Amino acid sequence: MATAETVPSPPSSSYENQYPSIDPTTFDLIVCGTGLYESLLSAAAASAAKSVLHVDPNPFYGSHFSSLSLPSLASFLHPVDDDDRSPLSSADKDSDDDAVFDLLRRRLYSDVETSGSFPEPSKGFLVDLAGPRFLYCSDAMVDLLLRSGASNHVEFKSVDATLIYWEGKLCPVPDSREAIFRDRTLGLAEKSQLTKFLRLIQNHIASEESGDSEVQGVDKIPPESMEMPFSDFLKSKRLPPKIRAMIIYAIILANYDQEDVESCKKLIKTKDGIESLALYTKSVARFPNAVGAFLYPIFGHGELPQAFCRCAAVKGALYVLRMPVTALLIDKETGKYKGVRLGSGQDVFSNQVIMDPSFKVPSSIPPGNIMHKEKASSFSGKVAKGICITSGSILPDSSNVLVVFPPKSLYPEQSTAIQVLQLSQNVAVCPPGLFVVYLSTPCNDAILGKEHINAAKNALFLGTEVEKSDGISLSTNSEGAEGENKPVLKWSITYVQDQEQASFGAVCSCPMPDENLDYRCIMETTKKLFTTMYPEEEFFPASRAPDNTEEDDSLPE
C-alpha cells in the first residue's frame, strides 16, 4: 500500500477490458475513494461484519488525504472540468430494471500558483494534500488507532516546539510549569499569571473527572462562566493579550478572531475552551518519547487512511485501485439506490454507497437517496493553503515546529489565524538539509486567503516578495527568532481548497478535509455517518481490538 507517484488520466472505453472483473457482485457497502473518512467507514463496517467493496480511480491510497511526491501534487491540484471527462458508453444505457445516472467530477482546488523550481530529487519529498495537520497525543483518533490495531501500520514523531508570532517576533509557547519558568520571553508577572491560570484549569478538570464538585482552598470556575465567550473569561482572569493569544490560538487552536465577539464566525465558549485545554494538558507527556502535545505520522498523513484500509482488508473488505465509478444505478420501480456502474462497465450492487467528495451526484437523481448536507457551522467553504520547501529551520536546532500567526498579527485586516507546520527528514518527508513547511488559513475569498498565506511566508522566509492586493508592501525584518537568519525559500505552491460537507442517505458523500489542524471534527463526522448507516452497530467496538494494541507507550517511534 505504498504511496504512488502519478495520477492517472480519466478512463476511456478503449481499455475497459483491462479492468478486473469483481466477484461477488453484491455487497452491504460500496465505498468510492480511499480518503480518511472513506477508509475509516470501510474499516468500521468491515469490523461490524459487513461485506465491503472499496474502489478508487487513483493508483494510490488517500485521495484528498494522500501524501504525494512534488510532481504528483502539481498534477493532482490542477482542476478537472466536467466536460473533460467523457462517460463510458455503457454508462449511458439503462437496463430493464435500473436507471443509470452518470457521475461527474467537481473542482475542489483552484488558484494554484507555484514559485521556484523543484528541489532535486523532487521524488524525495512526500507532501500532504490535507496539511498542515497533526494529532493530539490524547485525542480520539490516537485512541482509535490503538483500539482498531491501525497503530501497527503507522509510526509517529512528536512536534518539537510551538511558536507564536507576536509583535514581529517568534515567541515560544510553554507547555508545562517548568517550560514557563525557563521561558526568557515572558516577564515574571506573566509567568505568575499563566501558572495560576493553568493551576485553576487543572483543578477544575480534576474535580470534573472525579465528580467532586468542591476542592478545598481552590477557586472553581462557576457554572455561569462556562457559557460566556472564552476570550472574555480569559480577560476576567486578568491575563495579558500575549498570554490570551497563546492559549486561544496556539494551544486550543482557534481559527477565528475570538476577541471580536460580535462578528466571530466560530465563537468558542468557556466550556469548549476548557475541554480543549484538558485535551492539551492530557496530551503533554502522555508518551515518554514524545516531547510535546502533538504527533505527526512518519511518511505523512497519507499513512493514516492506508492503515485503516489495511484493517478493513484484514476483516474481509475487497480493494480495487485504478477502478473508477461512472454511474449510480437506481431501481426504476422504487426510485431507490441499487448499485454502481464501474469503469469496466460491470454493475455491482449494495444497500449503501459512500462517495468521495470529488464526485458530483446528478441533481436529477430521485429524492430520498441523498439527505440534507451537513451544515458547516458558519464556515465559508474555502481554505487557503501553501506548501514550501526551505533550506533551513524556522527555529534553530529544532526539526518539527508549529508556528501560529494570531488574527491581526500581520496586519489589521487579518481576521483569521494562520497556522504553519514545519517538518524535517526525521519524519521521512524530505531529503536531509531541507524542510517542508505547510501553511493554512480559512477564508471567505481566495485572493484574501492567499494574501494571508503570502504574508506569513514573507514574515518567515527569505526569497519572498509579497505585496497586498491594495498595493501596500508587507515588510518584515530579515531575522527570525532570537536574531537568527531566516531560512531561504527554495520552492512554494499556494492554492485554495473548497469545502464540501457530508451528505447522508443511501448515497452518502464524505466531506473534504476541514480547516482544523487536528482530527476531532473528522472523528465526529465519521461517527455520525456510520451511525446513520448502521444505527444498531458500534463504531469500532473495543471488544474486537487486537491484543497487541493495549500499550499506549508504544505509539510514537
DSSP per-residue letters across 177-229: HHHHHH-SSS-HHHHHHHHHHHHHHHHHHHHHHHT-S--TTS----GGGGGSB
- Percentage of the chain modeled with pLDDT above 70: 83
Bigger pLDDT: 283 vs 471: 283
User: Which amino acid, 404?
Assistant: V
What per-residue confidence (pLDDT) applies to 190?
80
pLDDT in tens, 2-14: 333 333 333 344 4
What per-residue confidence (pLDDT) applies to 428?
94
Domain assignment of residue 55, yes or no: yes
Asked if residue 41 and residue 101 are part of one domain, the reply reads yes
Bigger pLDDT: 17 vs 21: 21
Rounded to an integer, the average pLDDT of 304-326 is 95
Bond preceding residue 121 cis, omega within 30 of 0: yes
Q: How many CA atoms lie within 13 A of 444 on its CB side?
A: 8
Which phi and psi angles does 260 have, rounded to 5°? Answer: -95, 75
Rounded to an integer, the average pLDDT of 295-323 is 95
Q: At residue 112, does pLDDT exceed 60?
A: yes
Bigger pLDDT: 112 vs 219: 112
- Which of these, 245, 223, 250, lies nearest to 235 by C-alpha position? 245
Domain assignment of residue 145, yes or no: no
- Which of these, 348, 354, 345, 344, lies nearest to 329 by C-alpha position? 348
* Candidate ranges 2-16, 281-295, 481-495, 507-521; pick with highest mean pLDDT: 507-521
Residue 433 CB contacts under 8 Å (≥ 6 apart), including other chains: 391, 425
What per-residue confidence (pLDDT) applies to 545?
43
Q: Measure the CA angle with vertex 140, ends 39 and 215; round to 5°.
A: 170
Q: Strand 382-390 to strand 325-331: parallel, antiparallel, or no bridges (unpaired)?
A: unpaired
- Percentage of the chain modeled with pLDDT above 90: 58
Asked if residue 384 and residue 523 are part of one domain, the reply reads no
Contact between 295 and 157 (Cβ < 8 Å): yes
Asked if residue 196 and residue 51 are part of one domain, the reply reads no
Q: At residue 331, does pLDDT exceed 60?
A: yes
Asked if residue 373 and residue 514 are part of one domain, the reply reads yes
Nine-digit cell string for 116: 521556484
Domain assignment of residue 13, yes or no: no
Give 478-529 as a DSSP string: SB-GGGPBPPBEEEEEEEEEE----B-SSEEEPPPP-S-SSSHHHHHHHHHH
pLDDT in tens, 400-409: 999 999 999 9
What per-residue confidence (pLDDT) applies to 219?
63
Domain assignment of residue 94, yes or no: yes
Asked if residue 487 and residue 390 are part of one domain, the reply reads yes
Q: At residue 377, does pLDDT exceed 90?
A: no
Asked if residue 490 and residue 453 are part of one domain, the reply reads yes
Domain assignment of residue 185, yes or no: yes
- Least confident window among 277-291, 416-430, 514-528: 277-291
What per-residue confidence (pLDDT) applies to 63?
94
Q: Strand 347-355 to strand 161-166: parallel, antiparallel, or no bridges (unpaired)?
A: unpaired
Q: How many CB atoms lie within 10 A of CB 550?
A: 10
Q: At residue 82, does pLDDT exceed 90?
A: no
Domain assignment of residue 150, yes or no: no
Domain assignment of residue 342, yes or no: yes
pTM value surpassing 0.85? yes
Asked if residue 329 and residue 279 are part of one domain, the reply reads no
What per-residue confidence (pLDDT) applies to 55?
96
Domain assignment of residue 246, yes or no: yes
- The boundaries of the domain holding residue 445 are 158-172+380-498
Asked if residue 513 and residue 369 are part of one domain, the reply reads yes
Asked if residue 386 and residue 312 are part of one domain, the reply reads no
Contact between 342 and 350 (Cβ < 8 Å): no
Asked if residue 481 and residue 419 are part of one domain, the reply reads yes
Read off the CATH number of the domain in which 67 is found. 3.50.50.60
Read off the CATH number of the domain in which 255 is found. 1.10.405.10
Rounded to an integer, the average pLDDT of 168-172 is 92
* pLDDT tier at 478, thresholds 50, 70, 90: very low
- Which ranges in 125-176 belong to alpha helices (H)? 140-148
What per-residue confidence (pLDDT) applies to 101?
93
What per-residue confidence (pLDDT) applies to 83?
42
Asked if residue 483 and residue 414 are part of one domain, the reply reads yes
What per-residue confidence (pLDDT) applies to 355?
94
What per-residue confidence (pLDDT) applies to 94?
65
Q: At residue 15, does pLDDT exceed 80?
A: no
pLDDT in tens, 113-138: 999 887 777 778 999 999 899 999 99
Rounded to an integer, the average pLDDT of 512-541 is 93
Bigger pLDDT: 322 vs 14: 322
What per-residue confidence (pLDDT) applies to 376?
40
What per-residue confidence (pLDDT) applies to 85?
47
Q: How many distinct structural domains can be found in the chain?
A: 3
What per-residue confidence (pLDDT) applies to 373?
59
Residue 8 CB contacts under 8 Å (≥ 6 apart), including other chains: 57, 58, 59, 322
Asked if residue 413 and residue 365 are part of one domain, the reply reads no
* pLDDT tier at 78, thresholds 50, 70, 90: confident
- Least confident window among 162-176, 256-270, 365-379: 365-379
* pLDDT tier at 106, thresholds 50, 70, 90: confident
